[in-house]
Structure 1
Amino acid sequence: MMNEQYEQLTEAIAQGDLATVDAMLSQFMIDALPEDQYAIAEQLMHYGYLTQADDILQNLLFLLPDEPQLLIDRANVAMELGDEDNALDFLMQVNEEAEEYPQALLALADYYQMQGLFEAAMQRLEQALVVLPNEPLLQFAKAELLAETGRFLEASRLYEELYTQQTHMGGLSLAERLADVYRAGAAYEEALRYYKLALDEEIKPDTLFGAAMRRFNLSSMPMPLKH
């Protein structure tokens, strides 16, 4: 019976049949094991059914009140729903001794960045990097924040370091990121080099336009005077 419920919910979520999801969810939360409930919550989050996902996460927190991952997940869902106050409350409940604490700090950094509190966001990222100094996701988040605040040289160094290890982060091209940050910092030659690398990965209109503009920038720069 349980497998049938799970499969029906999974199919309804994938097909976007929200009426079936809503009709089944309450009974599912009564019958299902916590791990099955969490798996369905993940599927709901993936497809953007955040209110339904939060219902399950709230139920799981009632069953497992000391599970920090559930607090972090509820915070992320709350932020997506625009409920920043509750998001902050959930994150503040994560114990500093928890293994998931760096993840909570990353979510806090995201929260403060959304609020335009860039210094507070950077402080949280630095705290997380003390615990996990070689975590690529944290390094990428720091590079993104540096780029957003106009610290292009520092951002490019972090992106470069990441690029030596992998070409993409979370589905995003690091070559494109490097091209954009070098362009923003007016380092057009370096930008063009990375636009070319990004085009080797995938030809996209925005990347082609960026490469063309950087060629124009370089060709229109004044030649050095001869003595």
Structure 2
Amino acid sequence: METIMEAVHLMESKKSDEAIALLEDYLPVADEEERFTIAELFVQWGFLQEASQILEELLQQYPHEGEIKVMLADIYIELEADEKAIELLNNIHETDESYLEALIQLADLYQAQGLFEVAEQKLLTAKQLNPTEPIIDFALGELLFSTGDYLKAITYYQKVIGVTKEVANVSVPGRLAESYAAIGEYEEALKIYQDVEHEDSDTLFKYGLTAHQAGRSDIAIKAWEHVVEIDPYYHTVYYQLAKAYEEEELPNEAYTTAKKGLQVDEFNKELFFYAGTLAHQLNENTDSEKWMRQAIALDPDYKEAILSLIEIFKEKNQYADIIDLIEEVKTTGANDPLYEWELARAYNETESYKNALNHYQEAYNSLNKDSEFLKEYAYFLTEEGRIAEALPIFRAYLQYQPEDYEVEEFYNRLDEETDR
């Protein structure tokens, strides 16, 4: 062991090449115990291929040794050789001391492969062997949580929470609260969250979400404000916090929060659009247009933002801007019958009737069952003197809106005049 200790000291002195060379030179004369120790050191230092080679040789000498198989399987997993790890772990006999650990490892591997039922079966077998082991209960809780079986997950998390509040850096109360929230038990989830120390931004953010779902916007706002304080780069929080402010009728705070969010998340189209919406509410029309244009620049087919910006342009009678906007997004390949309809309207307002007609006709191909469109298109055709084309459009409209007596009367009068 003196040589091994010397190698450890070399590694501690940042002389890794010398440490590895010393151990590799020593391996041919090392006994089985020393070789296993060297393999452990190689794993610890990140030399996985070297460690696997030693362990594979030891396994040939001791083919039934479960401890070697478990350690080698760990290495295979790190090297992304999951099938080799599974084969190895499945060869550990149930009488072996390492069998329980092998079952838990197998469950992880099968879960990663999406074989959730197999993973659960391995964990239930492990639980039969050791009914009170919290790691097994936690693993079952995590598996069921990942598959959306929150009610069953709660049962296992509750068993763990009586023993420990944290497993593998995961907050068990946090998971329990998330599970209750997922099944709509927001009040219960909120109670659990209120007993959890909220030191990390993830837990705080989820606490805020649960409070918001429970109708406690005051708690949600405080939680999310704290997230911004401790982690200004936690992108997701800004949209939620801004929404909560708006719901509490604090539009200025909502807008300020959205703008802060855009400083740290400049590719969030939803936040740009929301900032534009808030700016419009506050009559900041120049900024509103700017934010919405940036949202559209990120996603040229962002229909909600495009249609909202069109409405803003309509309020200011900026029909030329509507035409420019839609023609621009269409050059990117973004197409929608609503864009054609809005182009038709804009061209009509600018008295470019031929263009308006072209776009009404284009929109009609997709919107021929939309009663509002049919009515508008029919009246446009009438105004353009295209009565013969307008009549069947009116008839189609009245099939969808038979109680619109005003349009019916207009249609009948038009029809009679045509027959004269």
Task: Give the shorter-chain TM-score range.
Answer: 0.7 to 0.9
Q: Which moved more, 1:24-33 or 1:82-91?
A: 24-33
Q: 1:73 to 1:203 in 2, by over 3 A?
A: same
1:66 aligns with 2:64: yes
One-letter amino acid matched to 2:162: T
In structure 2, the residue matched to 1:78 is: 76
Instruction: Note if contact 2:186-2:210 (Cα within 8 Å) is conserved in structure 1.
Output: yes
Query: 1: CA distance between counterparts of 2:62 and 2:26?
Result: 17
Structure possessing the higher relative contact order (Cα contacts under 8 Å, 6 or more residues apart)? 1
Q: 1:34 to 1:205 in 2, by over 3 A?
A: same
In structure 1, the residue matched to 2:313 is: none
In structure 2, the residue matched to 1:135 is: 133
Query: 2: CA distance between counterparts of 1:186 and 1:56?
Result: 52
Pairing partner for 1:214 from 190, 210, 216: 210
Q: Which runs of 4+ in 1 moved over 4 A?
A: 11-18
In structure 1, the residue matched to 2:51 is: 53
Q: 1:48 to 1:194 in 2, by over 3 A?
A: farther
CA offset at residue 43 of structure 1?
4.0
Query: 1: CA distance between counterparts of 2:14 and 2:113?
Result: 32
Q: Secondary structure at the match of 1:127?
A: helix
CA offset at residue 13 of structure 1?
5.0
Unaligned runs of 5+ in 2: 218-420
CA offset at residue 46 of structure 1?
4.0
Aligned sequence identity (%): 32
Query: 1: CA distance between counterparts of 2:13 and 2:153?
Result: 41
One-letter amino acid matched to 2:171: S
CA offset at residue 207 of structure 1?
1.5
CA offset at residue 216 of structure 1?
1.6
Instruction: Note if contact 1:146-1:155 (Cα within 8 Å) is conserved in structure 2.
Output: yes
Query: 2: CA distance between counterparts of 1:95 and 1:59?
Result: 20
In structure 2, the residue matched to 1:179 is: 177
Q: 1:32 to 1:127 in 2, by over 3 A?
A: same
Q: Which moved more, 1:13-22 or 1:31-40?
A: 13-22
One-letter amino acid matched to 1:211: Y
Q: Which moved more, 1:49-58 or 1:39-48?
A: 39-48
1:163 aligns with 2:161: yes
In structure 1, the residue matched to 2:94 is: 96
Deviations 1:118-160 (A, max 9, x none): 1111111112222222222111111111111111011111111
Deviations 1:86-136 (A, max 9, x none): 112211221122222222222221221111111111111112222222222
Query: 2: CA distance between counterparts of 1:171 and 1:28?
Result: 38
Unaligned runs of 5+ in 1: 222-227
Query: 2: CA distance between counterparts of 1:111 and 1:16?
Result: 35
Instruction: Note if contact 2:137-2:159 (Cα within 8 Å) is conserved in structure 1.
Output: no
- Cα RMSD between the aligned structures? 2.5
Pairing partner for 2:18 from 17, 20, 23: 20
Instruction: Note if contact 1:175-1:195 (Cα within 8 Å) is conserved in structure 2.
Output: yes
CA offset at residue 180 of structure 1?
2.5
How many pairs does the alignment contain?
217
One-letter amino acid matched to 1:164: G
CA offset at residue 18 of structure 1?
4.8
One-letter amino acid matched to 1:219: G
Pair member with larger Rg? 2
